[in-house]
Amino acid sequence: MARIGLLRHGETTGTGFRGCGCDDPLTAAGEQAMQAAFAGSGPWDRIVTSPLQRCRRPAERFAQGAGLPLLCEPRLQELHFGDWEGLTAEQLMQHDADALGRFWQDPFGCPPPNGEDLAAFRDRVLEGWTQSVVAPGGRVLVVTHGGVIRLLRAHLEGQPLEQLLSIEAPLASLHVVEVGT
C-alpha cells in the first residue's frame, strides 16, 4: 500500500478561476496555512508537485527542509479554464451566466469556453497519478490543486466524475489516501 497525501495550495494573490493559465504566488496567509498543514502531515518519502508556483515553491521548501526528493509533474496542474481564467463567478454571471450554469450542472458535457475538456483533464491527471505517484509507491506528498484533488478523490472513492464540483477541497487542506501499488 502507498500512503499518499494530497495537499492543496493555499490562498493566492489572484482572484477568480485560477487554472493552469494563471501562475500566481501565494499570499503570506496561504504560505502559513500550507506550512501548518505540512508540519504534522508526515512522514513522507518524497514529494510530487504541480509546476505552478503556488504549489511548487512551498513543495521545494518542504522537500529541502525535510531532505526529501522532489518531482515536478506537469500532468498534476489544474484544469485550464480557457476564457474564464482570472474571472470571478460574479463577473461570469454578468456576461456568461448560461455557460457557467451549464458547467456547474454538467462539467463533463459543458467545459469552459476555449478551456480544457474534463475528459482530457481526467486522462492527463490519472496518467500523472499512475506513473509518478502510485507506481513508485511509498509515502508520497502531492502538492496540487483543488480540481486535481476533487478528481482523484472521486476516482479513488468511486464517485461519479460528473459530481466533481460537490467534493470539498478547501485551500491548504490535506487529504490522505491509501492505494495499492
In 10 A of CB 23, how many CB atoms? Answer: 14
Residue 5's beta-bridge partner residues? 141, 176
Grid cell locating 163: 459530481
pLDDT, one tens digit per residue, over 71-93 is 999 999 999 999 999 999 999 99
Task: Give pLDDT, residue 135.
Answer: 82
Task: Give pLDDT, residue 181.
Answer: 61
| Domain map (residue ranges) of the chain | 2-179
Task: Give pLDDT, residue 162.
Answer: 80
Asked if 78 is an active-site residue, the reply is yes
Task: Give pLDDT, residue 108.
Answer: 86
Question: Residue 45: helix, strand or coil by DSSP?
Answer: coil
What residue type is 71 in one-letter code? L
What residue type is 83 in one-letter code? D
pLDDT, one tens digit per residue, over 17-42 is 999 999 999 999 999 999 999 998 98
CA pair distance 46, 144, nearest whole angstrom:
14
Instruction: Assess contact for 71 and 132: CB atoms under 8 A.
Output: yes
Task: Give pLDDT, residue 122.
Answer: 96
Asked if 9 is an active-site residue, the reply is yes
Instruction: Exactly one of 11, 31, 78, 116 is catalytic; name it.
Output: 78
| Mean predicted lDDT score pLDDT of the chain | 95
For the entire predicted model, the pTM comes to 0.95
Considering the four listed CATH numbers 3.30.930.10, 3.40.50.880, 3.40.50.1240, 1.10.560.10, the one that applies to the domain covering 2-179 is 3.40.50.1240
Task: Give pLDDT, residue 180.
Answer: 82
Q: Using CB atoms within 10 A of its CB, is residue 141 exposed (0-12), middle (13-18) or buried (19+)?
A: buried
Q: For the chain, which ranges sit under pLDDT 50?
A: none
Grid cell locating 113: 469556453
